[in-house]
Structure 1
Amino acid sequence: MRDDTSSKARLQKPLISLKTLVICIPMASVITLSLLLLFLSPLPATLSKPPPINHLPHPKIGVPKPPKPPNGSTQQNPNDVSPLIQSACNSTQYRTTCVTSLMKTTFPTPNPLAIDIVLASMDLSLESLKTAQSMSKTILDSSSGNINQSSAAKNCLEFLNYSSMRLSSSRNQETVKTHIKDVKAYLSGSLLYQYDCWSALKYVNTTSLVNSTMAYLNSLMELTSNSLSMVYALDFYGADTTTWKPPKTERDGSWGSFGGGNSAFHGKKGGFGGGKKGGLRDGDGGFWDEKVVLEGMKVDATVCKDGASGCLTRVQDAVDGAPDYGKGKYVIYIKEGVYGEVVRVGVSKRNLVFVGDGIGKTVITGSMNAQQPGVSTYNTATVGINGDGFMARDITFENTAGPNSHQAVALRSDSDLSIFLNCEFLGNQDTLYAHSMRQFYKSCRIEGNVDFIFGNSATFFQDCIILVRPRQLKPESGETNAVTAQGRTDPAQITGFVFENCLVNGTQEYMGYYYKKPKAHKTYLGRPWKQYSRTIFVRCYMDVLITPEGWLPWSGDFALSTLYYGEYGNSGPGANLSGRVPWSSQIPLERLSLYSIESFIQGDRWITGG
């Protein structure tokens, strides 16, 4: 069973080759020394991939329609609806759904405020989620003897639970007023999980029950998309609903989907403050000491291979022993050794910190892959993280499934405000699944081949080394691959990948094949997994293995007019822009700060301790 929705056949040639590992890297920009304090500080209070050959069509949200809208609304002339609701619904992609659902809502006053309409829209999604969960449970109960359908239904229930959690976090008037960027992040995640449920069921759609559930999910996604669009409008245009318009993207000439707007709910229009004008954070507040530092940190649990001195022998045992919904950091020290186990950090295990003895010394390894019965890409992760506020440093995460095993994830993160420092991620296809929410990777090393950095999170990669490894068992024949596959499905989602001051190259083995036959080995920066895919490279070094075109289509012209693939100030033989595909972009200098740590993932609040 697969958990993605793509339509393109798998790339048929192997991926990237590397040059030698002796590479000149531009001076890394770094986060302030206060980043270290995060290991002792709690979070702020407010706070699949394509099958190998033939993919099913990318769905158009809202098609097909369910037999009955999830809110049970009836048809009514939009002219009979409150002008306030009509104008608010002008901001959405699914206006008819918006109007017909909200017209039945009872508001506290005859003339509801913009925020009242937004919260009512969220309530409709939450109520409809309950029905979707019930329908998914019915599928699970009827799946005896069908391992693929049973697995899909279990995943669907898990996704909808996460969707409900994120949506519930959004539905708070004070949070909407004071932390609207958090609300946009939560709603972006909620919509993602509904989509993932739809996608999981798509591959087992052989019964009327599954089909009707998928149709219901389509309408549920319309409701949630509308909520997200209205929050976008409230943030960007302010409380006057007559000014609201549907969400636009950089390709439409709009730069406000993740930065600021002109409303009273946030700061200056078009940005989030911080950093130099037009630039990214340059670390002028200090340097991060990348050595393992345990002094001053209270270790709450220790894992070691021999079990000596009271150590636990399994990482999962240490995770299970952590308190539920902890407010302070819970530090798990994992001593040097190779730990062959699947680790799951549940949603209740918040603020966990994994500290190892260094890359290649502390290794957590597994080999699950999507070729196994009942296993989706989501399930293949050696380490899967759902608890918010997770941190890890000085650890290797690995999936050894091999280049012919298709999707096989080393690490999956659904942890909001998660941080990875000096970590290594090793795999082939789908190595790092930055699945959802806001994430930060600093001074990490990521190896893989097919779409090996993917997901629909808002993730910032700083000072990372990204290496392509041989893809096929006989890589000398040639290969074609993409480094990233970002999966934004909605123009109002705040998600995307930003790479700053990173090195993009190939492993020494790969580059050996590349130099022997350079025209047969093609590597691209990314390809659009979903309709509104967004990936940014700023001041990165790109070696010769990156093709002149830079970016690869997914299938035909899918997403080429809606994606945003931006570059600025990159260097190296693979950074020449003269041959780039026409649907990629050069980021205007005056817009560059929108992709800063501060603006893109609000990192000044939770990374620097500011």
Structure 2
Amino acid sequence: TYILLRAAVVGEGFLARDITFENTAGHAKHQAVALRVGSDLSAFYRCDILAYQDTLYVHSNRQFFINCLVAGTVDFIFGNAAAVLQDCDIHARLPGPGQKNMITAQGRKDPNQNTGIVIQKSRIGATSDLLLQTAGNMSYPTYLGRPWKEYSRTVIMQSEISDVVHSAGWHVWDADFALATLYYAEFENSGPGANTTARVDWEGYKVIGDESEVVGFTAEERAFRQKTRRRLIIVGISSILLVGIIIGAVAGVVIRNRKSGGGGSDADKLPPTESPAASLKAVCSVTQYPSSCYSSITALEGGSNSSDPEVLFRLSLRAAMAELSKLKDFPAAIQLPSDIANDTMLRQAINVCAAVFEDSVDRLNDSIASITAQPAGEGKQQQVLSRTWLSAAVTDLDTCLDAVQLNETEHPVNSAMENSTELASNSLAIVTKVLGLLSDFNIPIHKRRRLMTAEAKSDSGFPRWVSDGDRRLLQQVGGAGGLRPNVTVAQDGSGNFTTIAKAVELIPKKSLWKYIIYIKQGTYKENVILDKHRWNVLVYGDGKDKTIVSGSLNFVDGTPTFDTATFAVQGKNFMARDMKFINTAGPEKHQAVAFRSGADMSVYYRCSFDAYQDTLYPHSNRQFYRDCDITGTIDFIFGNAAVVFQGCKIQPRQPMSNQFNTITAQGKKDPNQNTGISIQKCDFTPLSANLTARTYLGRPWKDFSTTVIMQSSIGGFLNQLGWLPWVSGVEPPNTIFYAEYQNTGPGSSVAGRVKWAGYKPALTKDEAARFTVGSFIQGGAWLPATSVAFDSAL
């Protein structure tokens, strides 16, 4: 067994983060290890460890696993380390014929060894293949463990155990071997598989009732956890240790702590392995495309002689910009194959590509400007902005591919975009994993503002990126004493214009001052676009049922989804209040967007969005919706913005007879994008009582789809599975992040939810805090100024 593995680590102080270790041999090949660890003081964070028999070999020394997924069949966590698995997902999978699943097989051979396996605050369940086969019976029994050696020691505590675990809990190794000398225990577990009334009656097994009895399994772990968490987050203290930082904290290679000397230059202190070339390779190793990262940077002037991660990041931006600049002219010059040259819809899709290519160039320019000319002390904030803008640039490129709907790699659109897509992704990875990691050390480098840091709740309840002036505008607009708009639109001729489009033409480009458009009561049948140059615009009406903007463009009649929007905005700091945006195309026309937004730091207050499929398209950047109504059928909140909904009514409606409803379809394609959909303190109710169609919270549109529903009320209309795969019958990749937290109502029970590896039915408070206004969209920095109420934290 010892050598049948995919990865092995022995040296002291090994760290791994965000890595999958897998052995694909299958159950028929018996012992086949994915990861073997003999490293003392080693830690594994957000890793997947996947195989069948003998998946994870915790061989020896002290080890800590947190937020990891471990899946297997027979003895799939085994060995004789002092190992703690905390807040992990432990999943049994379908074994081979005649096999039984054993989660643990601990190998303590001497009673004086301070070793054992502790599983704490974790979730013990099964993968979908096993669940489909068992369906409530014990045809493929799963046990918490069996004693591999005479003094085997395993403790399961404060964990959620599903009914996949046999009521006996534990299984013998061979007859009565070790049953009196082992130490197997359970403490304060929950879930249908946690009932201990029918457990084994071995002399060495016990149910612990007194917390003091488990202190011995937690005290050392707590100190160890504190130390290892610091090492996972704070690995090294300067750019001199770049290779150690990247390899140790991100790529998972051994880190040796070194103390830098007193004088001399950085170059004098660099070990031979940390030459500029080695540093560049280390930086590029965090990307999805290390080869193109290395070659593109070394091709630039200065790319071969710098070890400074900030300089290397700037060079990566230059390389990406060079490729994106080529793309700007590509749509006009593209030569389509003769069989599709006259395809009108494809031509329209290429026009979409032209628009998003231009926007992606702007996003890279923003990143370059922020990283090269920023005031001292503002590195963290600018680093977060760079990540936001690069996330948007990657989304723009993906939007083009979605529009042309072609997957042939030889197609000119795909081939032309390949380099740009890779290089933009590389820059995003570097700013996220390299500069972001270094900023956590408070190193004097352009540091990011950590998205995981919760901000204080503002007095108004909004994110801080809404300025005080904008907050007052939202409070004062309309009614007695309201602020005077720059332009008024009224169908009856009592304003400056009778159409919104005419008013939009007057908006100054890139204005630093708020431009206010008042749209009086009425239904305005027009399609409105505020391009990327229209900054700081506020539009407001007389109420979300009184001022209505209506359109009917749709996919079936030949318009790409991106262009079907009745109202579309791109310029930053856009605000809308007391308006309704609808697309009247109907369900038979499929994709028909009511509102699309790519506006960074945009706010929508007391607005209504009404359509069927693809109603609301939060395309990219940071967005906030408060007290809004969103109505639709399939994927009716979709896109790849970092978006938070608070106090909103989410209202699925009856689709066509052969359709289902999916409320969300999040589009995160790159793991380093800081995007996702967060729905907090909202109300999920049907639009009308006639809703009979199967309705789900969402489905994952892309490989890294991220959606969190928390502290919301969910009606009984929701299908108990909660979520739906994108492809029927195919489980989504384990890279998605779908989660629920503290929801209420008849549809909030997670007992019958999907069992995907990427789904978390019950987040911890700390996990949920990542998706609040303060943390997820840095709302405390810009929302207070809008005067729109918001909750910054949980």
TM-score range for the pair, normalised by the shorter chain length:
0.7 to 0.9
1:168 aligns with 2:365: yes
2:379 corresponds, among 154, 159, 177, to 177
Per residue, is there more helix in 1 or in 2?
1
Structure 2, gaps ≥5 residues long: 1-272, 787-794
Partner in structure 1 of residue 310 of structure 2: 115
SS at match of 1:609: helix
Cα separation, partners in 2 of 1:558 and 1:348, compared to 1, 3 Å:
farther
SS at match of 2:572: coil
Partner in structure 1 of residue 677 of structure 2: 497
Alignment of 1:118-267 (within 5 A): 118-139=313-334, 145-172=342-369, 173-175=372-374, 177-178=379-380, 179-203=382-406, 211-238=411-438, 265=446
CA-CA distance at 1:386 after TM superposition: 1.2
Following the alignment from structure 1 to structure 2, what is the Cα–Cα distance between the partners of residues 386 and 343? 12
CA-CA distance at 1:110 after TM superposition: 3.1
SS at match of 2:624: strand
CA-CA distance at 1:530 after TM superposition: 0.6
1:604 aligns with 2:780: yes
Amino acid at match of 1:411: F
Following the alignment from structure 1 to structure 2, what is the Cα–Cα distance between the partners of residues 199 and 270? 28
Following the alignment from structure 1 to structure 2, what is the Cα–Cα distance between the partners of residues 607 and 372? 39
The answer on whether the counterparts of 1:526 and 1:552 sit within 8 Å (CA) in structure 2 is yes
Cα separation, partners in 2 of 1:423 and 1:113, compared to 1, 3 Å:
same
Partner in structure 2 of residue 413 of structure 1: 597
CA-CA distance at 1:146 after TM superposition: 3.7
Partner in structure 1 of residue 534 of structure 2: 349
The answer on whether the counterparts of 2:280 and 2:312 sit within 8 Å (CA) in structure 1 is yes
Partner in structure 1 of residue 513 of structure 2: 328
CA-CA distance at 1:219 after TM superposition: 2.4
Partner in structure 2 of residue 576 of structure 1: 749
Amino acid at match of 1:190: A
SS at match of 1:595: coil
1:297 aligns with 2:483: yes
1:85 aligns with 2:280: yes
CA-CA distance at 1:134 after TM superposition: 2.7
CA-CA distance at 1:596 after TM superposition: 1.5
Following the alignment from structure 2 to structure 1, what is the Cα–Cα distance between the partners of residues 441 and 675? 17
Partner in structure 2 of residue 447 of structure 1: 631
Bigger RCO (CA 8 Å, 6+ sep): 1
CA-CA distance at 1:382 after TM superposition: 0.5
CA-CA distance at 1:202 after TM superposition: 3.8
Moved more, 590-599 or 434-443: 590-599
Partner in structure 1 of residue 720 of structure 2: 548
Amino acid at match of 2:690: G
Alignment of 1:506-545 (within 5 A): 506-508=686-688, 511-514=689-692, 521-545=693-717
Identity, in percent, stands at 32
CA-CA distance at 1:135 after TM superposition: 2.5
The answer on whether the counterparts of 1:261 and 1:269 sit within 8 Å (CA) in structure 2 is no
Partner in structure 2 of residue 273 of structure 1: 454
1:315 aligns with 2:500: yes
Alignment of 1:425-444 (within 5 A): 425-444=609-628
CA-CA distance at 1:147 after TM superposition: 1.6
Following the alignment from structure 2 to structure 1, what is the Cα–Cα distance between the partners of residues 534 and 451? 36
The answer on whether the counterparts of 1:281 and 1:596 sit within 8 Å (CA) in structure 2 is no
The answer on whether the counterparts of 1:149 and 1:204 sit within 8 Å (CA) in structure 2 is no
SS at match of 2:665: strand
The answer on whether the counterparts of 2:303 and 2:315 sit within 8 Å (CA) in structure 1 is no
CA-CA distance at 1:112 after TM superposition: 3.7
Partner in structure 2 of residue 55 of structure 1: none
CA-CA distance at 1:93 after TM superposition: 1.1
Amino acid at match of 1:114: P
Partner in structure 2 of residue 101 of structure 1: 296
Following the alignment from structure 1 to structure 2, what is the Cα–Cα distance between the partners of residues 342 and 204? 30
Cα deviations by residue, 1:335-374 (Å, 9 ceiling, x for unpaired): 000111111111111111111000110000011100113x
The answer on whether the counterparts of 2:654 and 2:690 sit within 8 Å (CA) in structure 1 is no
Following the alignment from structure 2 to structure 1, what is the Cα–Cα distance between the partners of residues 480 and 755? 49
Amino acid at match of 2:527: V
The answer on whether the counterparts of 1:530 and 1:559 sit within 8 Å (CA) in structure 2 is no
The answer on whether the counterparts of 1:202 and 1:214 sit within 8 Å (CA) in structure 2 is no
Cα deviations by residue, 1:484-514 (Å, 9 ceiling, x for unpaired): 0000000000110001100111012xx3343
Looking at CA atoms only, which structure, 1 or 2, has the larger radius of gyration?
2
SS at match of 2:751: helix
Moved more, 562-571 or 100-109: 100-109
CA-CA distance at 1:580 after TM superposition: 1.3
Following the alignment from structure 2 to structure 1, what is the Cα–Cα distance between the partners of residues 709 and 392? 23
Amino acid at match of 2:551: G
Following the alignment from structure 2 to structure 1, what is the Cα–Cα distance between the partners of residues 764 and 659? 33
Structure 1, gaps ≥5 residues long: 1-77, 240-259, 515-520
SS at match of 2:334: helix
Per residue, is there more strand in 1 or in 2?
2
The answer on whether the counterparts of 2:638 and 2:665 sit within 8 Å (CA) in structure 1 is yes
Cα separation, partners in 2 of 1:434 and 1:550, compared to 1, 3 Å:
same
The answer on whether the counterparts of 1:488 and 1:496 sit within 8 Å (CA) in structure 2 is yes
Moved more, 187-196 or 126-135: 126-135
CA-CA distance at 1:203 after TM superposition: 4.0
Cα deviations by residue, 1:437-459 (Å, 9 ceiling, x for unpaired): 11000000000011100001110
Following the alignment from structure 1 to structure 2, what is the Cα–Cα distance between the partners of residues 204 and 344? 29
Following the alignment from structure 2 to structure 1, what is the Cα–Cα distance between the partners of residues 435 and 331? 34
Following the alignment from structure 2 to structure 1, what is the Cα–Cα distance between the partners of residues 404 and 314? 29
SS at match of 1:507: coil
